Amino acid sequence: MRIMIDGRYLPGNARVNRDLLITLRNMAKVLKWGIRYDAQRELVLINSKDSTMPPLPIDNNTEERTEDENARLAGKVICLDPGHGGSDQGALGPTGTMEKDNTLAIALLLKEKLEKSGATIVMTRDTDADVAYADAATNEEFGARVEAANQAEADLFISIHNDSFTSTAAAGSTTFHYGDKESVRLANLVQRGLSEKLSTKDRGARFASFYVLRHTNMPSILVEVAFISNPVEEMLLSSVDGRDNAAESICDGILKFFKV
């Protein structure tokens, strides 16, 4: 639900909420605002100058659209977690590429794209470093990543990884969730776009009891973008195009999740 005052959109897009509508109507009465609610467009229009009803905006106003595009995720805080880092290189590809480099590169591209839509991004790391402290143990690393998301009161937590298997034939993209309704919905949206965009085998959105999914207080997913142990997918994960496509599709999934 968007709110427009005197022809200008307020940033953010709240869920349609009866109590909020009643409150706005009561405020309008006391302050002598004109107000109307366009249910079809989920839009509250307010005229603060006098109590006449504000006109409906014209749909094809491109200027408003542009403004909208830049503010689609305004007010949303998203925590991005590039897997591994620093002393923990993660999985290794056949030619020696490291998971920790791929996850960071994809997360930084994703950060840029989400910020373009107005989101506030919290990174668990934005350099090649451990998150807790240098040479931290794995459980301390997980704890530090969860804490970053919970302390920021993020709306979403997205952990980015590369899959790996003993057989180089294993291939495809997988998105994990912890089974709660919103995380499942997010995982499905991201997973579908990811395997389509990367043309990887769709291994599905799946349940997993990963520490970072269990302990984060918000909808959270862990994306295994592709298999670094597979020579073809190793190339995809370490290429500029492959990384950008991965980031683009995860960004799309997030926009769909918020229905903006």
Calculate the CA 13 to chain-centre distance.
Answer: 15
Q: Are 86 and 31 contacting, i.e. CB atoms less than 8 angstroms apart?
A: no
State yes or no: residue 93 binds Zn ion (CB under 5 A): no
Token pair belonging to 246? 């991965």
Closest CB 9 distance from Zn ion, rounded Å: 40
The residue of the chain with the least Cβ separation from Zn ion equals: 161
- The SS3 of residue 6 is coil
- Find the part of the chain contacting Zn ion (CB under 5 A) among 29-37, 54-62, 85-93, 116-124: 85-93
What mask, x for binding Zn ion by CB under 5 A, covers residues 26 to 65?
A: ----------------------------------------
By CB under 5 A, is residue 100 in contact with Zn ion?
no
> Among 2, 161, 192, 197, which residue sits at the site for Zn ion (rule: CB under 5 A)?
161
* Residue 222 in tokens: 């862990």
With binding defined as CB under 5 A, does residue 145 bind Zn ion?
no
Beta carbons of 176 and 213 less than 8 angstroms apart: yes
Q: Which one of 90, 118, 172, 242 is in contact with Zn ion (CB under 5 A)?
A: 90
Interface with Zn ion, residue 113, by CB under 5 A = no
d(CA 260, CA 258): 5
- Give the list of residues 6+ apart from residue 189 with CB closer than 8 angstroms, or none: 253, 254, 256, 257
83 binds Zn ion (CB under 5 A): yes
193: contact with Zn ion by CB under 5 A? no
Nearer to Zn ion, 161 or 192 (CB): 161
Q: Are strands 156-163 and 120-123 parallel, antiparallel or unpaired?
A: unpaired
Contact status: 86 vs Zn ion (CB under 5 A):
no
| Spatial contact of 165 and 174, defined as CB atoms under 8 Å apart | no
**Residues near Zn ion (CB under 5 A):** 83, 90, 161
